[in-house]
Structure 1
Amino acid sequence: MTTIYHNPRCSKSRQTLALLEEKGIQTQVRLYQKDLLSKKELDQLIIQLGIQPLDLMRTKEAAYKELGLNKDSSDEERIQAMLDNPSLIERPIVVHNGKAKLGRPPENVLELFS
């Protein structure tokens, strides 16, 4: 099964979902801002993406600065901030067969199926 962590208000997220549908890939849509991630799920996504927590954060979001986050924040602080404020999580994320890709640009996710 393929899952997209989706925000319908985000154009890249909508484009990525449309691309998956166009390719005939059955996709489970997870509206992560309503169906919140657990710490275990977020940790797993970071591992599957092969990145650091900072690389998954939308650092230009107002909440990033409001929470006092910066380059010196710990990974634990960043993860907790994303759990408490899902708008800080970069999107979309597509997971397939235990691997994940960010849909920025949307075509990146097609690497999961080649």
Structure 2
Amino acid sequence: MIKIYHNPRCSKSRQGVAILENSKKEFEIVKYLENIPSEKELTDIINLLGISPIQLVRKNEKIWKENYKGKELSDSEIISAMIENPKLIERPIVINDNKAVVGRPPESILEII
């Protein structure tokens, strides 16, 4: 089953949901600001994406700039920061079996569905 980690307030995330709706495939929406991923879940997502944790961080968020920018953080500290402040997680993230993509641009979702 396809899964999208979605923030309804984000236009790119809404575009990602629209792409999945148009695909006519079944998918699950995870509103990750309400249902914050666990450390294991977020680590698994990062591994599926094939990126380092820092690459999933929204570095322009005020929370990042005020609390983390310029600090030497380990991968686990970065993951903890995203769990404590889920707004820091880049979105949307779409997972289809063992493939995942950050939907920026949203059309990149088409590569895995």
State the TM bucket, normalised to the shorter chain: over 0.9
Please state whether the residue corresponding to 2:112 is helix, strand or coil: helix
User: What's the C-alpha RMSD, in Å, of the aligned pairs?
Assistant: 1.1
Q: CA deviation at 1:36?
A: 0.9
Q: Tell me, which stretches of 5 or more residues in structure 2 are unaligned?
A: none
- Structure 2 counterpart of 1:61: 61
Aligned residues: percent identity? 50
TM-score (norm: length of structure 1): 0.94
TM-score (norm: length of structure 2): 0.95
- Provide closer, same or farther for how the CA distance between residues 48 and 63 of structure 1 changes in structure 2, counting only shifts above 3 A: same
Once residues 80 and 96 of structure 1 are traced to their aligned partners in structure 2, the CA distance between those partners, rounded to angstroms, is 25
Q: CA deviation at 1:67?
A: 1.6
- Provide closer, same or farther for how the CA distance between residues 51 and 71 of structure 1 changes in structure 2, counting only shifts above 3 A: farther
Please state whether the residue corresponding to 1:17 is helix, strand or coil: helix
Once residues 7 and 40 of structure 1 are traced to their aligned partners in structure 2, the CA distance between those partners, rounded to angstroms, is 20
Q: Tell me, which stretches of 5 or more residues in structure 1 are unaligned?
A: none
Return structure 1 stretches of 4+ with deviation > 3 angstroms: none
